[in-house]
Amino acid sequence: MEQITKISDDLAALYAEGNRRQWALFTTGFDFGVQEINEKLDAYRKDKNNFKIVSEYKNRDLDPIEQRGADLLFKEFQWNHLSERASRLKKEINELQIQLVDLQNKHRIQIGGIDYTSSQIAEILNKDPNQERRREAFLSRTQINRKLIDGGFLKLLDLRREYALACGRKDFASLKLETDELNSEMFNSFVEECSSRISVLKEKESQIAQESLNENWIEPWDFSYIKNLFCSFNSQPVDLVNFLEPLKSVFRSFGFDLDGLNITFDIFPRKNKSEWGYNFIIEPGVESRVLTNAGGQFYDYWILLHEAAHGVHYLGLDKNKKLINRGVSGMVSEGFANFFGNLAYSKEFLSEIFGQGFNEAYIAFKKLSSVSDLQAFELIQQTIFDQRLYLSEVSTMNGVEELVWQTRRELLGKEPYADEPVWGHLIHHTSVPIYLHNYFLGDVMCEKMKEVFQRRSGQHWAEDPKGFGGFWKDEVLKPSGRYPFPELFERVCGEKISIGSYLDKCLKYEE
Distance of CA 414 to CAs 372, 411, 418, Å?
A: 18, 8, 12
Sign of CA dihedral 404, 409, 412, 417: positive
Backbone angles phi, psi at 393, to 5 degrees: -110, 35
Distance of CA 444 to CAs 61, 202, 308, 330, 428, Å?
A: 36, 22, 21, 13, 20
Average predicted confidence (pLDDT) for the chain: 95
Distance of CA 415 to CAs 158, 387, 422, 468, Å?
A: 28, 20, 14, 42
Nearest-angstrom CA–CA distance, 231 and 363: 9
Buried b (16+ CB within 10 A) or exposed e, 338-371: bbbbbbbbbeebbbbbbeeebeebbebbebbebb
CB atoms within 10 A of CB 77: 21
Asked which of 47-51, 158-162, 269-273, 436-440 is least confident by mean pLDDT, the reply is 269-273
Q: Quote the percentage of the chain above a pLDDT of 70.
A: 100
- 3-class SS at 1? coil
**Average of per-residue pLDDT across 48-56:** 97
- Concatenating the DSSP letter of every residue in 340-384 gives HHHGGGSHHHHHHHHGGGHHHHHHHHHHHHHHHHHTHHHHHHHHH
Q: Give the per-residue pLDDT at 356.
A: 86
Buried b (16+ CB within 10 A) or exposed e, 413-438: ebeebeebbbbbbbbbbbbebbbbbb
Q: Give the per-residue pLDDT at 357.
A: 82
Q: Is the pLDDT of residue 212 over 80?
A: yes
Length of the chain, in residues: 511
Q: Is the pLDDT of residue 239 over 80?
A: yes
Residues 64 and 311 sit within 8 Å (Cβ to Cβ): no
For 95-137, the pLDDT digits (tens) are: 999 999 999 999 999 999 999 998 899 999 999 999 999 999 9
Backbone angles phi, psi at 283, to 5 degrees: -160, 120
Q: pLDDT band at 72, cuts 50/70/90?
A: very high
Q: Give the per-residue pLDDT at 145.
A: 98
CB atoms within 10 A of CB 114: 9
Domain boundaries in the chain? 1-81, 244-374+436-506
Nearest-angstrom CA–CA distance, 26 and 10: 25
Nearest-angstrom CA–CA distance, 431 and 153: 11
Q: How many angstroms from the chain centroid is the CA of residue 472?
A: 19
Backbone angles phi, psi at 237, to 5 degrees: -60, 140
In the CATH scheme, what is the code of domain 244-374+436-506?
1.10.1370.40
Q: Is the pLDDT of residue 358 over 70?
A: yes
3-state secondary structure 456-502: HHCCCHHHCHHHHHHHHHHHHHCCCCCCCHHHHHHHHHCCCCCCHHH
Nearest-angstrom CA–CA distance, 408 and 195: 10
For 320-354, the pLDDT digits (tens) are: 999 999 999 999 999 999 999 999 999 999 999 99
Rg (the chain; Cα; Å): 23
Q: Give the per-residue pLDDT at 510.
A: 65
Q: pLDDT band at 511, cuts 50/70/90?
A: low
Q: Is the pLDDT of residue 180 over 70?
A: yes
For 380-407, the pLDDT digits (tens) are: 999 999 999 999 999 999 999 999 999 9
Nearest-angstrom CA–CA distance, 231 and 233: 5
Amino acid at residue number 51: F
Q: Is the pLDDT of residue 453 over 80?
A: yes
